[in-house]
Structure 1
C-alpha cells in the first residue's frame, strides 16, 4: 500500500517515460521496485535495468517480478551504487532517480553527477526529491528530515541551482515541476527535474 504522495511521484515519473517514448530505461536506486514493476509492464520499454545498493530490496523486487505476468521488457537487476558508472549502464534512453539522491552523502554528489551525466549519459534523466519547504505542512520539525535515511533535503531554489549547474556542465536542458500538491508559497511535497540531452 503506497501513500498518496508516493503514488503521485510514481505517476509523474512514469508519465515522463511514456511521453518520451523511451525504449531502454535505467532505474537507479530501484529499491523494492514500485516504479520498476510499472515500467516492466510498459509496452514501449524493451530494456529495463534496476540498480540498488541494498541486496535485500533487490531480493524483494525479484520476488515481485516472479509473480506477475511475463513482461515484454528485457529485465536485469544489479546490486551496486548509483555513484559508480559501469560500461553496461551507458547509452540508455532514460535514467530514473526517484527519491534517491537525498540518501547520498552531499560529499558524494559530484561522484553521482560524473557517473550519471558524465559517463552513463542517458538521453534523459528524471530526478525527484523531497521539497524541504513543504515539510512544515507535514508536521516535520525544522531541525529534522522526513526520513532518518535522508542526508539532506533541498528547498526548491537549492534543487534548481544544483540542476541548472549540472545541466550546463554536462550538456542537458532541464525543466522543473512540483509533485503531490502545489501550495502557492511552498510548492509540492516533492519536486522533479527532467534533464534532456542537448543534441
Structure 2
C-alpha cells in the first residue's frame, strides 16, 4: 500500500522538516507484519512529495494466529486484501514514521507546524462500503475528494467495479498534523478492520485524536462505531463523551445546545449485525452543515456569524477557502473565550488568523462593525429573545448591517409533539422565550423581507414528518 503527501508551499521542501525525514535519503523501519519505507519521489522548492510505502509479508500476517479477524471462509488467511489495502496497518505506520509531525512538533522550525499548507494526499488503495463514504468522511473536513474506481476484472467490464478505490484528497490550507490525524482515524474506519486488539485504550485514542473535529463531524456515530469495531462497551461511553464535548458549556443568549432529537441511540445487536449503517445525523450538526453548505454555494468573501457561541459554525466556515474574512459575534464573553480555545486562535498561523475575528456584542443595538458583509448567519438565535425585542434585531441586521444574504434558523413548534419528554406548551430549552410554528415563522420572515427589500425562501431542516414538518426551519433572505 502506498500513501503520498504533496505540497506546493514555498519552499515546498519544508515538508521534510515537518515530517522529520530527510528528502535526500531512503529510510525504512520495522512495523507489524513487515516494513515501511519513507522516500521522496520529488523534492524541489516548488513541489515536494513524501511517500510512505508498506511492504507487508502475507505469511507474517497470519503466522501464529488462529485466524484473521472476521474470518469468513476457509482460505481467508491465504486469499485476502491485507497486504495492499489501506488499513490499520497504514495508521500504525503513520504513527511510527511521522509521530512527531502528528504531534505538531518541529524542533528546527517551531512555528512551522501551525502553518496551513496546500496539501494533496493520494492513497492506493482504500476499501470502502460504497463510493459515497470517502466523501462523507473527508468532505466535512474541508477536503476536495476524488475517487478512481477499480474494476473487478478489466477484461470483464460486465462484472462492474470492486469496493476498492484510489483516493485523492486536496486541501487549500491545513496543518500537516491535522491531515495525518484525519488519515490515522479515518482509513481504518473505511476499511472496517483492525489488526490489533480493540479496548479502552483505543477509545481514549479516538477521543484524543478526534478532539478538534470529531464531535462536530456529521458522521460521528459511524466513525466511532467502526473505529471501535461495534463494541458497545466502548462505543456507547465514547459517543456520550463526544456529545458532552459537543454540547459544551451552558447555553448563552445566542447559542443553542443539541436538541432532544440529537441524542444518539445506544448500539444494539441489531445495529451491529446490519453493517450497512445509516448513522443518525444530529439536528445540531445538520443545521450547521446546511447553513455552511448554503454559504459555500454563494462563495462570499466576508461572512458574519451572529450568535456564534462556541465557534462550531466558524470552524466549518474557516474550511471554505473562498471566504476572506469571518466575524463571529456573541453576547457571552465566556462563549467567545471557549470559541477561541476550540479554534486554537492563539496558535493559528498569521494568514489564517487574519481571516477571523471574534467580538462581543448584542444584536439589539446598532453596531458599525457589522456593516460591509456579503452573508450573515443567525443559527438558533431569535428564539432566545423576547418577541417584543425582535424588531430591534431586525433593524440592526436587516436595516443597518444589511448583508446581501441572511440565514435565520429556528425550531419548528409543530414538531414538538413528537418529543416524548416534552409536555404540551413546553419549549425544547429553558432559555427559549418562544418557539414558532411553521406558519408563524413564515409570517415573520415574510414581513421582514417585505420591509427591507429582500427576497425570501423557506427551507426545512431535518427529516420531514407528515403533518408536522421538520424539526427546524430556515429562512433565507436575498437582497432583491
Instruction: Give the structure-2-normalised TM-score.
Output: 0.40
SS of structure 2 residue aligned to 1:97: strand
Shift of 1:129: 0.3
SS of structure 2 residue aligned to 1:163: helix
Shift of 1:26: 0.4
- Work out whether 1:79 is the aligned partner of 2:357: no
Find the partner of 1:47 among 322, 325, 350: 325
* Alignment partners' CA distance in 2, 1:73 and 1:162: 36
- The match for 1:17 is 295
Shift of 1:83: 1.9
Q: Say how many residue pairs are matched.
A: 198
* Alignment partners' CA distance in 1, 2:418 and 2:301: 38
- Work out whether 1:174 is the aligned partner of 2:452: no
SS of structure 1 residue aligned to 2:446: helix
- Work out whether 1:92 is the aligned partner of 2:373: yes
Find the partner of 1:147 among 426, 429, 442: 429
SS of structure 2 residue aligned to 1:147: coil
Shift of 1:37: 1.1
Instruction: Give the structure-1-normalised TM-score.
Output: 0.95
CA contact (8 A) 1:125 1:195 kept: yes
Map 1:1-199 → 2, pairs under 5 A: 1=243, 2=246, 3=262, 4-66=282-344, 70=349, 71=352, 74-139=355-420, 140-198=422-480
Change (3 A) 1:74 1:134: same
* Alignment partners' CA distance in 2, 1:103 and 1:57: 15
* Alignment partners' CA distance in 1, 2:419 and 2:303: 32
Shift of 1:85: 2.5
Give runs of ≥4 in structure 1 deviating > 6 Å.
Answer: none
CA offsets 1:104-154 (integer angstroms, 9 cap, x no match): 111110000000000000000000000001111122212210000100000
List alignment gaps of at least 5 residues for structure 2. 1-242, 247-261, 263-281
CA contact (8 A) 1:40 1:72 kept: no
CA contact (8 A) 1:46 1:72 kept: no
* Alignment partners' CA distance in 2, 1:91 and 1:145: 35
Shift of 1:72: 7.2
CA contact (8 A) 1:27 1:51 kept: yes
- The match for 2:80 is none
SS of structure 2 residue aligned to 1:9: helix
* Alignment partners' CA distance in 2, 1:32 and 1:123: 25
Aligned-residue RMSD, C-alpha: 1.4
* Alignment partners' CA distance in 2, 1:138 and 1:19: 33
SS of structure 2 residue aligned to 1:141: coil
Shift of 1:73: 6.0
Change (3 A) 1:130 1:73: farther
CA offsets 1:56-102 (integer angstroms, 9 cap, x no match): 00000001121776437611111111222211211210010000110
Shift of 1:54: 0.7
Q: Which moved more, 1:187-196 or 1:176-185?
A: 176-185
CA contact (8 A) 1:32 1:60 kept: yes
SS of structure 1 residue aligned to 2:390: helix
